């Protein structure tokens, strides 16, 4: 770490002239900014100083928070459960020296665009991770309409609003990043989670388009098309690991490592092979059948 080396023309005191004071304060400011920029990691210089993690109270969102803090970014963590967010924040504070803010926040709220703009007004966010998702299981006809529209709100409207709110600030300063969480379920129809799978297809296609749009402005977009991840949500729905299941920390790291190498990353070798076989080698009908076998026991 570099130390501040400031040599004022003479001692600052009541007899100083304005010019001398201005010289000293400008030199101190320059040296202090140089100090910050030289101590920040390359990741934090590109995507800092703050990261927003939408859906950060457990599972993969908590893993993103930990990984980003280790990479030197301050955190603004959102989810509905304040106590879970607090627990994530305390773990991060215990392990790193970054600043952490938490906010209990429903990403399905009707006034999301305005509420988000107010929330981030004074926070310099260089990276947005949209991790939150709602995944009700069951055939379409068995699910209440509100559940299905909730998927649209959390999984489609939410990431769209977050991207539209944050991208202009990132492009204006010529750097930043957006992470959209998707799923292998987003590449073909998936019975019993049909609306969720369709919402993940939206994130793939939105992210691919944004990747190309924002890249000339220095903003990196990555879509993470994950296979099964060991999270509380997945454990509740699946009961046991599917082939290729990864820890949340692995998915978070591989996703963040892929920033700048978009538009899409599929974490895990088994999942990349599955994606290749299902997407490139098998007819679409067969891919849907295979997916149906893996979703038939979800609850």
Ligand X SMILES: NC(=O)c1ccc[n+]([C@@H]2O[C@H](COP(=O)([O-])OP(=O)(O)OC[C@H]3O[C@@H](n4cnc5c(N)ncnc54)[C@H](OP(=O)(O)O)[C@@H]3O)[C@@H](O)[C@H]2O)c1
Q: Mind telling me the catalytic residues?
A: 196, 200
Residues that bind ligand X (CB under 6 A): 55-61, 79-81, 84, 105-108, 131-134, 154, 181, 183, 226, 228-229, 231-234
d(CA 243, CA 227): 9
Q: What is the largest CA-CA distance in the chain?
A: 84
Q: Which is nearer to ligand X, 46 or 157 (CB)?
A: 157
* Smallest distance from ligand X to CB 195, Å: 12
Nearer to ligand X, 105 or 202 (CB): 105
Peptide bond into 171 cis (omega under 30): no
- 8 Å CB contact between 79 and 61: yes
Q: Please state whether 13 falls in left (phi above 0), alpha (psi between -120 and 50) or beta.
A: beta
Instruction: Give the residue with the Cβ less far from ligand X, 74 or 231.
Output: 231
3-class SS string, 244-258? CCEEHHHHHHHHHHC
Q: How far is the CB of 180 from ligand X (least distance, A)?
A: 9
Which pair of structure tokens corresponds to residue 282? 């098998």
Q: Which of 216, 158, 155 has the alpha carbon at shortest distance from 183?
A: 155
Q: Which is nearer to ligand X, 68 or 132 (CB)?
A: 132
Least Å distance, CB 123 to ligand X, is: 18
DSSP symbols for 127-160: EEEE-------S-GGGS-HHHHHHHIIIIIIHHH
**Residue 46 vs 192, nearer CB to ligand X:** 192
DSSP state of 75: E
Q: Minimum distance from CB of 228 to ligand X (Å)?
A: 4
| Least distance to ligand X, CB of residue 21, Å | 49
Smallest distance from ligand X to CB 55, Å = 3
Nearer of residues 43 and 202 to ligand X, judged by Cβ: 202
Neighbouring CB atoms inside 10 A of 101's CB total 15
Q: DSSP for 253-288?
A: HHHHHTTTS-SEE--SHHHHHHHHIIIIIS-HHHHH
Q: Which residues contact 168 (CB under 8 A, 6 or more apart)?
A: none
């Amino acid at each position: 770490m570099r130390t501040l080396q400031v040599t004022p023309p003479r001692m600052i005191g009541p007899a100083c002239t304005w010019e001398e004071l201005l010289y000293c304060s400008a030199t101190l400011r320059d040296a202090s900014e140089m100090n910050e920029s030289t101590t920040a990691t390359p990741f934090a210089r590109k995507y800092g100083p703050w990261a927003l993690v939408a859906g950060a109270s457990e599972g993969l969102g908590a893993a993103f928070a930990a990984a980003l803090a280790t990479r030197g970014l301050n955190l603004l963590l959102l989810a509905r459960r304040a106590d879970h967010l607090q627990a994530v924040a305390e773990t991060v504070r215990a392990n790193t020296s970054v600043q952490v803010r938490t906010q209990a926040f429903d990403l399905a709220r009707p006034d999301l665009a305005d509420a988000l703009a107010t929330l981030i007004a004074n926070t310099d966010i260089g990276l947005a991770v949209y991790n939150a998702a709602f995944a009700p299981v069951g055939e379409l006809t068995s699910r209440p309409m509100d559940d299905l529209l909730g998927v649209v709100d959390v999984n489609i409207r939410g990431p769209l609003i977050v991207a539209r709110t944050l991208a202009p600030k990132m492009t204006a300063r010529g750097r930043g990043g957006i992470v959209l969480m998707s799923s292998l379920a987003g590449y073909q129809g998936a019975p019993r989670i049909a609306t969720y799978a369709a919402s993940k297809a939206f994130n793939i296609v939105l992210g691919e388009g944004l990747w190309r749009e924002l890249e000339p402005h220095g903003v990196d977009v990555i879509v993470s098309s994950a296979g099964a991840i060991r999270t509380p949500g997945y454990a509740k729905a699946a009961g046991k690991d599917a082939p290729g299941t990864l820890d949340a920390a692995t998915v978070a790291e591989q996703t963040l490592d892929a920033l700048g190498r978009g538009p899409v990353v599929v974490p895990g070798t088994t999942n990349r092979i599955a994606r290749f076989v299902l997407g490139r080698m098998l007819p679409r009908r067969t891919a849907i059948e295979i997916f149906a076998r893996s979703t038939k026991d979800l609850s």
